[in-house]
A and B are shown apart, each in its own frame.
Chain A
Amino acid sequence: MSLVTKRSLGLLAAAAVLVGACGGSATPSPSASAEPGATAAPSEPASNLADEQVLRVDIAGEPPTLDPNKAQDSNSLAVLRALHRPLVYINPKLEVVDALAESHTISADAKTFTFTLRDAKYSNGDPIVAGDLVYSWRRLVDPRTAAPYSYVMAEVVGGSELLAMAGADPLPADAEIDALLEKFGVSAPDDKTFVVTLSTPATYFLTAMTLWVGVPIQEKWITSENATEAANYVSSGPFMLDTWQHQSEIILKPNPNWYGDIKPTLTEIRMSMSPEPAQAMAAYEAGELDMLLPVPSEDIERVKGDPTLSAEYAEESSLAITYYNYNNGQNPQGTGIAERCKDPKACPTMNKNFRAALTQAIDKTAFQNATFAGTGRVAGSFVMPGIPGALADYEPYPFDLTAAKASMDKALQELGYASAADIPALKFGFNTGSGHEPRVAFLAQAWKDAFGLQTEQVGSEFGVFLSQRTAGQYDISRNGWGADYPHANNQLSGLFTCGGGNNDQQYCDKAFDDLLTQAASEPDQAKQAALYETAGKMLSDGAVSLFLRWGVNSQLIKPYVTGLTKTPMDSQVPGEHFYETIQILKH
């Protein structure tokens, strides 16, 4: 998320809070349950359990890092969720519940969070103290760490100054940075109390704290040589890093000092790192893996038709979306129309009726059937169902060729073209080698059939594609997003805000940004959700992007794996948020 938006959000929020705070009502604690995870304890009688409690899964590639402050890739996360737990965590219903924290309170002005820690120890036997949380959070926001998710600390007192410092060249002196870190809004009045002070109210902050980046970290551990290698790794979660054979295998074993109520039944989790999805699929079928996520979409039909495999197959909703960008014409900084779109005829996607026409010409169900093996849920808006503020069934531009032609006629009139065939071929960008070709071909063909619209399909290598898309060089491009944490703010801010760090639709509308700022300081959950719904409707009504489908996790699970606690946030391993409940039956 870009700092520009964060700062402007902050200023506006400060103004808004003066209105909100006068209400005087304390923000209710988001969840009633006190048990970590609030998940069901495994209930299989011991006689049914296999002698060997070993789980074999694949995480699709070597994790670039297992440093909690610095991790960002889904395969790193699949491992980290077993090794560490934050203060608060999600439960299968995506509610925020206490984890490392025994309890927490939020001040009336929604700016101060106080956590009381449980009695807990690391895998090395040392007690987990609040000071470790202070250290970890400071390290996260420290410009010298250059952590990708440091931006979640922007609302904390002193956070935005520290984040801005990261881009400074040269970096200010260590003493100066340390001084700012001292003033950073986290403190540990005693070993069991951790206090966070925000500079502006941020209603999503508690949900953001379920991220892996804010876990307690011992300074003496992370600063030691080769800290993240298996021999030295210190974890605070249900499992420990027993072995890390690079590029080959990670083996996790239970942490004897795990403080949670549910202790792991598994004695070992073996994670392979296959770079080729077809190989992982073959490995599952050969019985070398116990679970597989995702199932390659080309195999789904065969799996569903096979008597054994279809019984092992499941589809769970996931917090991901497949969507395609229209170029809405703004420059990447969000400060005005981009150069290439100064002449509206050069950027037809800047025209709302044009975008509406394109959207109405797509049969999203057919798209899903043809290119995703029918998996998924057709989407008319962005925020995924299950997150407060989502619009699960809102579709202002359903598939309707007549309406599409009508919208296109209006657009052509406004743009000054006689027919769609006169429009110079639109640049349709995508990255090669990831299976997007059929989807791009489907859409291009649909638009050609409906309007005679020409598109130039431009497939590029991934890095090249990213830089082109960021620079706004495409008229239409493919995109996708998966939630970092289950809150509407994570889905909308940064992607659709002016100059947002992940804004690939060249979209900018002050009214939209204002709605998000309002929601950020609205303590009432229902009102908050309503604000996000309004913002979401703005995007859908404006046909800002082509929202196609919300993802599902298509997975294969052997019948002897039981006790899985699945959540829609799983991305690499089913039940990856709660490995401790998994059990293996006799087989």
Chain B
Amino acid sequence: MISYLVRRLLWIIPVLFAVSVITFTLMHAVPGGPWDREKRLPASVQARLNNEYGLDQPLPVQYVSWAIGFVTGDLGPSYRFQDRRVNDIVMSGLATTVQLGIMAFVLSVLVGIPLGITAALGHNKWPDYTSTGVAIIGIATPSFVLAILLIVVFAVQLGWFPTGGWKGPEYWVLPTIALAGFPIAVIARYTRASMLEVTRKDYIRTAHSKGVRNQSVVTRHMVRNALIPVVTILGPTLAFLVTGSFIIERIFNIPGVGQFYLNAITTRDYSLLMAMTMLYAFAVAFLNVVVDVLYAYIDPRIRYS
């Protein structure tokens, strides 16, 4: 098990390398550059900036110097924010984005799993219908629509929460709900489905027939087994939270790295783009490994060679 874990973690390195090469190539294949403005810079100034930032070097040379910097922890200067280093930009926004992601994840698990369980236990009765109803809303509403609606209703018209920013706990509520809407629905449905499946299992009937009390049957057997498929969709859920944060951060004016990501693409801030792509790729790859390990841990029937 340990060797499997170590091997998977080591594999992240070549994966990141491949991602960096693909991103770098695609990035420079796109027309336009970091100095583009509606009011054009004089050609000589653009040439000078290209020279200063090394953009006039051949691409492989540029890649190598980026890679060396990356490995030594220097992510380079930002092309758009000329007085700042990418390290600073990422550091200052990272904590915010991670916090938002974790809160949305916790919310989706705290709401989704009980929702699914009550739906399964009250199968085809009103708890099932209510929870299905909530799930429908969560699936059917794109996160940016949910975000806009939340702002209009709760921030502008009711004034219960601020419209944007990230300056205290009251700022966390609406973005977290907007981001968690879809995962709540997905987790609820998966939990319900796997709980229903588990109730039909032989060992549950055996336990029942032996007279074991209902409560302990639920908690000990059903929940543990029902969690297996939920762990399966943990991966895609976390991936969704990661990419969903781009739009949510933008709509709610949250100073995290996600908001910068979309801008970095448009403004061709190459170093910022590379840094954040590597960050996301690492996060997704790492979480993938974690999910696989958790999966093996929870289901004793699965063992990896």
Residues of A within 8 A of B (CB): 1-3, 62, 64-67, 70, 72-73, 143-144, 146-148, 150-151, 163-167, 169-171, 226-228, 245-249, 272-276, 278-279, 282-283, 285-288, 461-464, 466-468, 470, 480-481, 484, 501-502
B250 at the interface (CB under 8 A from A): yes
Choose from B30, B44, B92, B259 the contact partner of A463 (Cβ within 8 Å). B30
**Closest CB in chain A relative to B257 CB, distance in Å:** 9
Contacts of A151 in B (CB 8 A): 42
Contact partner, B253, options A167, A272, A285, Cβ 8 Å: A272
Q: Which A residues lie within 8 Å of B167 (CB)?
A: 248
Q: Which of B64-72, B158-166, B199-207 contacts A (4 or more CB under 8 A)?
A: B158-166
A-chain residues with CB within 8 Å of residue B32 when the two chains form the complex:
461-464, 466-467
Interface string of B31-49 (1 = CB under 8 A from A): 1110011111111110111
Task: Please give, as numbers and ranges, the residues of chain B lying within 8 Å of A287 by CB-CB distance.
Answer: 159
Q: List 22 A-B contacts (CB under 8 A).
A: A62-B81, A64-B80, A64-B82, A65-B83, A148-B42, A148-B45, A167-B47, A171-B48, A248-B255, A274-B164, A275-B253, A275-B259, A279-B151, A282-B152, A282-B156, A282-B164, A463-B31, A463-B36, A463-B266, A484-B39, A501-B40, A501-B43
Contact A146 B45 (CB under 8 A): yes
Q: What chain A residues lie within 8 Å of B155 (beta carbons)?
A: 282, 286
Give the chain A neighbours of B48 by CB distance below 8 A.
143-144, 146, 166-167, 171
The complex places the Cα of A412 from the Cα of B174 at a distance, in Å, of 59
**In this complex, what residue of A is CB-closest to B154?**
A286
CA distance A227 to B82 in the complex (A): 12
B163 adjacent to A164 (CB under 8 Å) = no
Whether B148 is near chain A, meaning CB under 8 Å from some CB there, is: yes
Chain B residues whose CB sits within 8 angstroms of the CB of A274 once the complex forms = 164, 253
Let me know if B190 is at the binding interface, CB within 8 A.
no
A273 B162 Cβ-Cβ under 8 A: no
Flag if A72 contacts B51 (CB, 8 Å): no
Chain B residue numbers with a CB within 8 Å of A163 are: 42, 44
* Contact partner, A248, options B38, B40, B165, B263, Cβ 8 Å: B165
Measured CB to CB, the closest approach of chain B to A61, in angstroms, equals 8
Tell me if B's interface is mostly helix, strand, loop or mixed: loop
Closest 6 CB pairs of A and B: A463-B32, A167-B44, A247-B255, A166-B44, A248-B255, A282-B163
Provide the bound-state CA to CA distance between A70 and B37, in Å.
14
Q: Which residues of A contact B166 (CB under 8 A)?
A: 248
Cβ B39 vs Cβ A72 within 8 A: yes
Chain A residues within an 8 Å CB radius of B43: 2-3, 167, 501
User: Given that A272-B253, A288-B163 are contacting pairs, would A247 and B92 also be in contact in the complex, using a CB cutoff of 8 Å?
Assistant: yes
Cβ of B99 to closest chain A Cβ, rounded Å: 14
Q: Which of A170, A283, A502 has the most CB of B within 10 A?
A: A283
Instruction: Choose one: B36, B88, B148; the contact of A462 (CB below 8 Å).
Output: B36
Across the interface, do B165 and A464 meet the contact criterion of CB distance under 8 Å?
no
- Are the C-beta atoms of A276 and B156 separated by less than 8 Å? no
Instruction: Enumerate chain A residues within 8 angstroms of B36, measured Cβ to Cβ.
Output: 462-463, 466-467
Q: What does the 1/0 interface line of B258-301 toward A look like (CB < 8 Å)?
A: 01100100111000000000000000000000000000000000
Please, how many angstroms separate the alpha-carbon atoms of A279 and B44 in the complex? 38
Residues of chain A within 8 A (CB-CB) of B182 are none
Q: How far is the CA of A44 from the CA of B218 in the complex (A)?
A: 72
Tell me, in angstroms, the Cα distance from A73 to B38 when the chains sit together.
10
Whether A64 and B163, one on each chain, are in contact in the complex, defined by CB atoms closer than 8 angstroms, is: no
> How far is the CB of A442 from the nearest CB of chain B, in Å?
21
Partner of B251, one of A171, A276, A481: A276
- Chain A residues within 8 Å of B83, by CB: 65-67, 226-228
- For residue B77, give the distance in angstroms from its CB to the closest CB of chain A: 12
Using Cβ atoms and an 8 Å threshold, which residues of chain A touch B56? 169
Chain B: which residue is nearest A504 at the CB level?
B40
Residue of B nearest to A150 (CB): B45
Given contacts A148-B37, A247-B260, 6 further A-B contacts (CB under 8 A): A67-B82, A72-B41, A169-B47, A170-B51, A463-B32, A467-B31
Q: Quick one: which of B8-34 are within 8 Å of A by CB?
A: 30-33
Chain B residues 66-94 with CB under 8 Å of chain A are 80-84, 88-89, 92-93
Let me know if B38 and A480 touch, CB within 8 A.
yes
Given the known inter-chain contacts A62-B81, A275-B253, please indicate yes or no for A171 contacting B51, CB distance below 8 A. Answer: yes
Across the interface, do A276 and B253 meet the contact criterion of CB distance under 8 Å?
yes
Q: Which residue of A has the minimal Cβ distance to B265?
A: A461
Kindly provide the distance from the CB of A497 to the nearest chain B CB, expressed in whole angstroms: 14
Given contacts A247-B255, A467-B31, A470-B40, contact A64 B45 (CB under 8 A): no
Residue of A nearest to B50 (CB): A169
- Interfacial chain B residues near A64, Cβ < 8 Å: 80-82
Inter-chain CA distance A144–B48, complex, in Å, is 8
Instruction: Note all chain A residues with C-beta closer than 8 A to B84.
Output: 246
Cα of A531 to Cα of B178 in the assembled complex, Å: 59
**A286 contact from B42, B44, B162, B260, Cβ within 8 A:** B162
> Which residues of the partner chain A approach B44 to less than 8 Å between Cβ atoms?
3, 143, 163-167
Which B residue sits closest to A169, measured CB to CB?
B51
B163 close to A283 (CB less than 8 A): yes
A150 pairs with B253, CB closer than 8 A: no
Distance between B89 CB and nearest chain A CB, rounded to angstroms: 7
Q: Measured between alpha carbons, how far is A1 from B41 in the docked complex, in Å?
A: 8
Measured between beta carbons, the chain B residues less than 8 angstroms from A275 are 250, 253, 259, 263
Bound: A502/B43 CA distance, A: 11
Distance in Å: Cβ of B106 to nearest Cβ of chain A: 24
Is B266 a contact partner of A461 (Cβ separation < 8 A)?
yes
Choose one: A3, A249, A462; the contact of B42 (CB below 8 Å): A3
Chain A, Cβ-Cβ closest to B82: A65
**Given contacts A62-B81, A462-B266, A466-B32, A273 and B42 within 8 Å (CB-CB):** no
**CB closest chain-A residue, reference B266:** A462
Instruction: Establish whether residues B38 and A466, one from each chain, have CB atoms under 8 Å apart when the complex forms.
Output: yes
The answer to whether B49 and A286 have CB atoms under 8 Å apart is no
Determine the chain A residues whose CB is within 8 A of the CB of B172 once the complex forms.
Answer: none
B254 to chain A, nearest CB (A): 9
Contact of A1 with B42 at beta-carbon distance under 8 Å, contacts A282-B156, A462-B266 already known: yes
Please, which residue of chain A has its CB at the minimum distance from the CB of B269? A64
- The docked-state distance in angstroms from the alpha carbon of A286 to that of B250 is 18
Assuming A247-B259, A466-B32, is B38 touching A272 (CB within 8 A)? no
| Interfacial chain B residues near A1, Cβ < 8 Å | 42
Most buried by A among B36, B155, B253: B253
